Amino acid sequence: MNTKITALVLGAATALVACQDSGRLTEVLTRPAFSTAGSGLGSKIVFATDRDGPDPVGNFGNQEIYVMNADGTDQRRLTDNGAIDGAPVWAPNGQRIAFHSTRANPGPPPLAIDIFLMNADGTDQTQLTNLTALHLGGAVDPAWSPDGQRIAFSSQVAPREVFVVKVDGTGLTNLTNHPARDADPRWSPDGRQIAFTSSRDGNREIYVMSPDGSEPQRLTVSAAIDERPAWSPDGREIAFASNRDGNFEIYVMNADGSAPTRLTFDAAEDTRPGWSPNGKQIVFDRRGETGHFEVFVMNADGTDPTRLTTSGPGAFSGFASWSQGHLVGPMASLQADAVGTQVVTGEIGPGSIYRLDRPAEWNGRLVLFAHGVVPPAFPVQLPARVVAPLRDALVARGYGFAYSSYSENGFALKDGVQRTRQLRGLFAEAFGDPQHTYVIGQSMGGAVTLMLAETNPGIFDGALPMCTFAGGTQLELDYIFGTRALFDYVFPGVIPGDAVHVPDSLDFNRDVVPAVRNALLADPARAVELAGVDQIEIQYASFNELVSSLIGPGATPLFLQVTFASDVRSHTHGHFWFDNTATEYTGSHDDAALNAGVGRFSASPDATNYLEHYYQPDGNLTLPVLTLHTTRDPAVPFAHEAVYAGIVAGRGKSDLLVQRSFDRFGHCGFTVAEQVAALEDLVRWAETGVRPTP
């Protein structure tokens, strides 16, 4: 490659180097030391606290607004009066703060509470709303629109509603106008949706609606309370608080409501999440052993929760909001990474985005990461939440790290192999040849890893496929679509369509999850019978795990069938790949009735041939392979491991395979520490010959 290098120095701290080749612009960023805990340069956190004593009436703490650095230092008071000032939130430009206050009538309850605005330094405090005069009970919990021109908020008394008003106080509009409780509005970063909490379906759940209040759509489905939504800066995820596991904890889900994932695991109550401007951290409120809230921050994967405030006996701090800092663009999101690490980003192929990380103290080893399947309706982007914690841990240990999106989402195994293989050459062009190269991946990315290891033995020193369908794509799809066929027999009519036909309008979270949950709970015995059919044999340790194995949270066979059936067919020229015409099902209470009544489907030879190419492992290993799998994986059954072990044994290559299992429920449910330990065991094996333990 003939690469042109130009440099732009920003002050004395940061250098931006642009590399241009054949019209492709790539950024190389040398990252300086930075101490603000991954927050983004210059960002601040504003919060409410009653640490300064009770209000004059004595009913509530004298809540005031404070601001602090993102690491908790330099806590300074912005408001100072005898009323309650709370729920502060930064304007998108970081120059103003909206908050609610009782200062218009700080007398005994019921208090008149309304939305106020002030400058970021606490000056020019002005009242924006006067809902008390309109007999609407007051205004609380403001939220800025991304353009900074409007503020959404909740009315205070029942029935609570979500309103919007212009920042000049005009244009007050009721967006929800519903008899249920509607509250906690938060704008999406692109301004196209507002997330909010509503009890319109019986209990508090997370919904989204258009900015004019139309098209309300439910995102969460649980018997518990889901509330306090907060959009990630890229708009792809929503953090929220829920007591679905008995105690209020912080969760995160995709913006369409799929894949809800618990982040906090603490006996304390965790609530009111908010994102750092670069999306790497989440600030939240935690009610600790004192019974009062304090402000905490954690990594976006839930690790390293750190307390930022200490309010004193009987006092609380909370309602934290993170400013967007004073820089925009890529530099703001790179300030907190490892000292001296160089990063290259760019595009390869038709629309694939890549990233290369080289630490200052590079150990000469390169890790290529292949990500799992992404719903086809999602935009093609670099995987963030899954990759970043592992990437940062390995870069901190001296490893080079490279990963990419694929050119398309969905069942993109073929493209994933091509894009991941290209990463080594890109890294070598940018930083020089690595001494050793390892390929790792999760779920479908694990199949990419396995295919690369078996078909490109001269490139890699070792492979770490995790939670993948090592027994082959056909075996995996037989499980997914076979589960759907059996479900339709046991619970007919619950899910529209059939094993290979999915209506275009079918939404898994909206249409499938509640219907399947109700069916399972109405007839648990039939649910257990379904799971016990030998040809799928779902692994679970409790009935709750059985339910989660079918509807989530997380990847499940029914989710994969509904979400990817049409996409897989697009790779097989519209032909079907699932064939159970000769399958004799066993393990039910009445096998004869099951075999007579289950839906039967036949496959096309060209479709099954495609799946054999992408991919049926052959087990002819020439390099060390270490696999990881949980024993109760609902999406990719643990049984794949035994199948692959048999394939490898048939080739006489068992000495090059180690399989490590974790006795737990979930798909790809490994900690970063477990993944790092596995990689370093693989490296030791490849470079010294010391075979790791399973």
Q: At which of 548, 578, 612 does a domain end?
A: 612
Count the domains in the chain: 3
Helix or strand or coil: residue 95?
coil
Tell me, yes or no, whether 99 and 195 share the same domain: yes
Q: Taking 50 as the threshold, does the pLDDT of residue 495 lie above it?
A: yes
Picking from 374, 354, 361, the residue whose alpha carbon sits closest to that of residue 424 is: 354
Instruction: Scan for tokens 């994102």, then name that residue.
Output: 275
Lowest mean pLDDT, pick from 49-53, 149-153, 246-250, 681-685: 49-53
Quote the pLDDT of residue 42.
Answer: 46
Asked if residue 679 belongs to a domain, the reply is: yes
- Answer whether 283's CB lies under 8 Å from 274's CB: yes
Alpha-carbon 360 to chain mean position: 29
Q: Taking 80 as the threshold, does the pLDDT of residue 149 lie above it?
A: yes
Q: Taking 60 as the threshold, does the pLDDT of residue 666 lie above it?
A: yes
Tell me, yes or no, whether 64 and 208 share the same domain: yes
Identity of the residue numbered 667: H
Q: Which residue has the higher pLDDT, 515 or 245?
A: 515
Tell me, yes or no, whether 462 and 528 share the same domain: no
C-alpha distances in Å from residue 607, one per residue of 446, 472, 635: 22, 14, 22
Which strands, in side-by-side order, build the sheet including 139-144?
139-144, 150-155, 162-166, 173-174
Helix or strand or coil: residue 119?
strand
Q: What is the mean pLDDT of residues 375-383?
A: 88
Both tokens assigned to 420: 């991941």
Tell me, yes or no, whether 557 and 626 share the same domain: no
- β 126-127/112-119 pair status: antiparallel
Q: Taking 80 as the threshold, does the pLDDT of residue 20 lie above it?
A: no
Asked if residue 689 belongs to a domain, the reply is: yes
- Answer whether 413's CB lies under 8 Å from 444's CB: yes
Q: What is the mean pLDDT of residues 409-421?
A: 92
Tell me, yes or no, whether 581 and 627 share the same domain: no
Q: Which residue has the higher pLDDT, 11 or 95?
A: 95
- Answer whether 160's CB lies under 8 Å from 113's CB: no
**Other beta carbons less than 10 A from residue 655's beta carbon:** 10
Picking from 560, 431, 428, the residue whose alpha carbon sits closest to that of residue 502 is: 560
Tell me, yes or no, whether 74 and 220 share the same domain: yes
Asked if residue 263 belongs to a domain, the reply is: yes
Please list, in sequence order, all residues whose beta carbon lies within 8 angstroms of the beta carbon of residue 274, skipping any fewer than 6 positions away: 230, 239, 282, 283, 284, 320, 321, 322
- Between helix 413-431 and helix 444-455 the angle, nearest 10°, is 70
Q: What is the mean pLDDT of residues 109-132?
A: 85
Q: What is the mean pLDDT of residues 274-291?
A: 87
Q: Which residues pair with 153 in a beta bridge?
A: 163
Q: Taking 90 as the threshold, does the pLDDT of residue 28 lie above it?
A: no
**Other beta carbons less than 10 A from residue 10's beta carbon:** 11
Angle among Cα 178, 182, 185 to the nearest 5 degrees reads: 130
d(CA 352, CA 346): 8
- What CATH number does the domain containing 183 carry? 2.120.10.30
Question: What is the signed CA dihedral for 444, 450, 452, 453, rounded to 10 degrees?
Answer: 160
Picking from 17, 32, 22, the residue whose alpha carbon sits closest to that of residue 431 is: 17
Picking from 443, 345, 333, the residue whose alpha carbon sits closest to that of residue 403 is: 345
* 201-220 residue pLDDT tens: 889 999 999 999 999 999 99
Q: Which residues pair with 8 in a beta bridge?
A: 16
Tell me, yes or no, whether 462 and 586 share the same domain: no
Lowest mean pLDDT, pick from 97-106, 329-338, 445-454: 329-338
Mean pLDDT of all residues belonging to the chain: 86
Q: At which of 322, 337, 353 does a domain end?
A: 322
d(CA 659, CA 626): 6
- β 173-174/625-632 pair status: unpaired
Confidence band for 516, pLDDT divided at 50, 70 and 90: very high
Asked if residue 408 belongs to a domain, the reply is: no
Q: Taking 80 as the threshold, does the pLDDT of residue 18 lie above it?
A: no
* 608-623 residue pLDDT tens: 888 888 899 999 999 9
- Answer whether 57's CB lies under 8 Å from 356's CB: no
C-alpha distances in Å from residue 348, one per residue of 24, 352, 532: 9, 5, 45
Asked if residue 40 belongs to a domain, the reply is: no
> What are the phi and psi torsion angles at 576 (to 5°)?
-90, 145
- Answer whether 309's CB lies under 8 Å from 71's CB: no
Tell me, yes or no, whether 651 and 557 share the same domain: no
Tell me, yes or no, whether 197 and 215 share the same domain: yes
Quote the pLDDT of residue 223.
Answer: 87
pTM: 0.59
Q: At which of 576, 592, 612 does a domain end?
A: 612
Q: Is 159 exposed, middle or buried (0-12, 13-18, 19+ CB in 10 A)?
A: middle
Backbone φ/ψ region at 141: left (φ over 0), alpha (ψ -120 to 50), beta:
left
Q: Taking 90 as the threshold, does the pLDDT of residue 423 lie above it?
A: yes
Picking from 27, 32, 29, 28, the residue whose alpha carbon sits closest to that of residue 13 is: 32
Alpha-carbon 413 to chain mean position: 21
Q: Taking 90 as the threshold, does the pLDDT of residue 587 lie above it?
A: yes
Tell me, yes or no, whether 534 and 668 share the same domain: no
Q: Taking 80 as the threshold, does the pLDDT of residue 588 lie above it?
A: yes
Quote the pLDDT of residue 107.
Answer: 54
* 163-193 residue pLDDT tens: 999 999 999 999 998 989 999 999 998 788 9
Q: What is the mean pLDDT of residues 282-292?
A: 86
Q: What is the mean pLDDT of residues 632-639?
A: 96
- β 657-665/625-632 pair status: parallel
Quote the pLDDT of residue 694.
Answer: 94
Quote the pLDDT of residue 54.
Answer: 52
Confidence band for 126, pLDDT divided at 50, 70 and 90: very high
Confidence band for 51, pLDDT divided at 50, 70 and 90: confident
Lowest mean pLDDT, pick from 563-572, 661-670, 679-688: 563-572
Q: Taking 90 as the threshold, does the pLDDT of residue 146 lie above it?
A: no
d(CA 299, CA 310): 20
Quote the pLDDT of residue 61.
Answer: 61
Confidence band for 471, pLDDT divided at 50, 70 and 90: very high
Asked if residue 530 belongs to a domain, the reply is: yes
Q: Domain residues for 669?
A: 435-468+615-694
Asked if residue 195 belongs to a domain, the reply is: yes
Helix or strand or coil: residue 91?
coil
Q: Taking 60 as the threshold, does the pLDDT of residue 258 lie above it?
A: yes
Tell me, yes or no, whether 564 and 635 share the same domain: no
d(CA 60, CA 42): 33
Tell me, yes or no, whether 85 and 129 share the same domain: yes
Angle among Cα 582, 585, 587 to the nearest 5 degrees reads: 165
Q: Taking 80 as the threshold, does the pLDDT of residue 450 lie above it?
A: yes
Asked if residue 343 belongs to a domain, the reply is: no
Q: How much of the chain exceeds pLDDT 90, in percent? A: 66
Helix or strand or coil: residue 160?
coil
Which strands, in side-by-side order, build the sheet including 261-262?
226-231, 237-242, 249-254, 261-262
Backbone φ/ψ region at 349: left (φ over 0), alpha (ψ -120 to 50), beta:
left
Instruction: Scan for tokens 């929220």, then name that residue.
Output: 240
Q: Taking 50 as the threshold, does the pLDDT of residue 345 lie above it?
A: yes
Please list, in sequence order, all residues whose beta carbon lies within 8 angstroms of the beta carbon of residue 443, skipping any fewer than 6 positions away: 372, 373, 466, 467, 468, 555, 635, 636, 667, 668
Q: Which residues pair with 207 in a beta bridge?
A: 196, 218
Identity of the residue numbered 268: A
Both tokens assigned to 27: 């950024």
